[in-house]
Chain A
Amino acid sequence: MTNQSFDDFVNQRSKASEKSEIDWTAKLEAWKRDLSIFHEKVESFLKSYIESGKLTLTKRSIDLREEYIGSYEVDALDIILGDTKITLTPIGTNLIGAKGRVDMKGPRGTVKFVLVPKDSSGPKISIQVRIQGEDAPTKEEIKPITDWEWKISTPPPRINYIELEEESFQTALMEVANG
């Protein structure tokens, strides 16, 4: 005797897993690598101030949890500048419109760093209505994004992505520290 509802259940689950072709372990490893790149950038932007003892930069381990990936540990950064503490906290990799995000929080606000396509200057994509009879592009024709870069996001309501460089980082840091 066939248990119809169990059949349906198994079929449904196996179809769902076919649909999801994402290698979550690889995605997590890539996210951790991207985060290390971000940390190296921050360190290099502050190097002379760290060496002269004018500020301290320390790493601390935090737990993140994301659906499909589960719980994992990553490093957050703390910047101590006088009596001001600024934290750089990773948010995750499974986000809308970005491959990763780190929030820099200080007493006067938050600035968000996003890992977005290298040529992207803001949340905009090109969408055209297809002409009748025109076929959708095949899977092979759709080029995956391979070049990602850390950028600074301006806040809503006009989100734009600014290049992450020494000067833009230092401006962002002053903004969250001083307002």
Chain B
Amino acid sequence: MAKHKRVSFSEQNLVLDEIDQYYRNIEASTRFYFSLSNPNADELFAGRAKTEIEYELEIISKENEHLVALNLLASVEAAFRVDYLQRCYKRKKDSLSLALRAIHVTKGNHASLDDDIFTAWKENTSSSNSIVSDLKGAFKYRHWLAHGRYWEPKLGRKYDYFSVFTLAQTVFNSFPFEGANA
């Protein structure tokens, strides 16, 4: 294990409350921009039907959801990776930590979230197949977002801000993570 360089934690990873606050701000700003309360509405939307403006608002809101969902999933990934490294650095001896430590011997900081870390959680904890499969599915969605959405994704589920936040809250409420300061 010693051959892999130890990661210095930045402590800059965003927490769910901060991401949600950002989402609320951006969503409220967008809705205000497209509303008649916007002092520039007459100029901005001259000659356009209400339905057209609503349609444009819907498209932009959807985009906001995608972008913030990407951030939510990045936060979930950070939690799993910090936990992975901490269990290795602290040489913890429970079955999950031992499985993660075995992965660390060969892969160090480059363990695969899906194939290595999620699988270790599935095999060494009481986490159900369903939460692990929800996570794997959500990270396919993240992969699609992060790599430019150029292919037709086979995601299986519908993803929006609310469903991704629900998953993130389930993870942070339920998984006994070793945090950066643990």
**Once the chains bind, are A94 and B158 in contact (CB under 8 Å)?**
yes
Which of A66, A96, A159 neighbours the largest number of chain B CB atoms within 10 Å of its CB? A96
Determine whether the beta carbon of B176 is less than 8 Å from that of A132: no
| Residues from chain B with Cβ under 8 Å of A153 in the complex | 162, 166
List of B residues within 8 angstroms of A124 by Cβ? 169-170, 173-174
B89-113 to A contact mask, C-beta < 8 Å, 1/0: 0000011111000000000000000
Q: How many chain B residues touch A (Cβ–Cβ < 8 Å)? A: 40
Chain-A contact segment, one of B3-11, B44-52, B127-135, B142-150:
B127-135
Q: Are B95 and A129 in contact (CB under 8 A)?
A: yes
Cβ–Cβ < 8 Å partners of A142 in chain B:
128
Whether the pair A97, B170 counts as a contact (CB closer than 8 A) is: yes
Q: A96-B138, A156-B169 given as contacts; is B17 within 8 A of A125 (CB)?
A: no
* Cross-chain contact A157 with B16 (CB below 8 angstroms): yes
State whether the Cβ of A4 lies closer than 8 Å to any Cβ in chain B.
Answer: no
Q: A91-B158, A156-B16 are in contact. Are A136 and B123 (CB under 8 A)?
A: yes
Which residues of B153-179 are within 8 A (CB) of A?
A: 154-167, 169-170, 173-176
| A91→B173 CA distance, assembly (Å) | 25
Q: Is A131 an interface residue (CB 8 A)?
A: yes
Q: Let me know if B20 is at the binding interface, CB within 8 A.
A: yes
Chain B residues contacting A7 (CB-CB under 8 Å) are: none
**CB nearest to B165 among chain A residues:** A156
Instruction: Given A91-B158, A95-B163, A156-B20, check contact A128 B126 (CB 8 Å).
Output: yes
In the complex formed, the residue of A with least CB distance to B93 is A132
| Bound CA–CA A120/B55 (angstroms) | 36
Known: A125-B128, A127-B175. Is A159-B158 also a contact (CB below 8 A)?
Answer: no
Q: Which residues of A contact B12 (CB under 8 A)?
A: none
B125 and A129 form a contact (CB under 8 A): yes
Q: Say whether A159 contacts B126, CB under 8 Å.
A: no
CA distance A67 to B144 in the complex (A): 16
Q: Which residues of A contact B23 (CB under 8 A)?
A: 156
Q: Among B21, B95, B170, which residue has its beta carbon within 8 angstroms of that of A130?
A: B95
Question: What's the nearest-Cβ distance from chain B to residue A122, in Å?
Answer: 7
Do A131 and B95 touch across chains, with their CB atoms under 8 A apart? Answer: yes
Question: A68 on the interface (CB 8 Å rule)?
Answer: yes
Assembled-state Cα–Cα distance A130/B159 (Å)? 31
8 A Cβ contacts from A96-116 to B: 96-98, 101, 112
Q: How far is the CA of A131 from the CA of B125 in the complex (A)?
A: 9
A residues bordering B, Cβ < 8 Å?
66-68, 91-92, 94-98, 101, 112, 122-134, 136-137, 142, 153, 156-157, 159
Report which B residues bind A (CB closer than 8 A): 16-17, 20-21, 23, 94-98, 123-128, 131, 134, 137-138, 154-167, 169-170, 173-176
Could you jot down 12 A-B contacts, CB within 8 Å? Answer: A96-B134, A96-B138, A96-B159, A96-B166, A123-B170, A127-B127, A128-B126, A129-B96, A129-B125, A131-B95, A134-B95, A157-B169
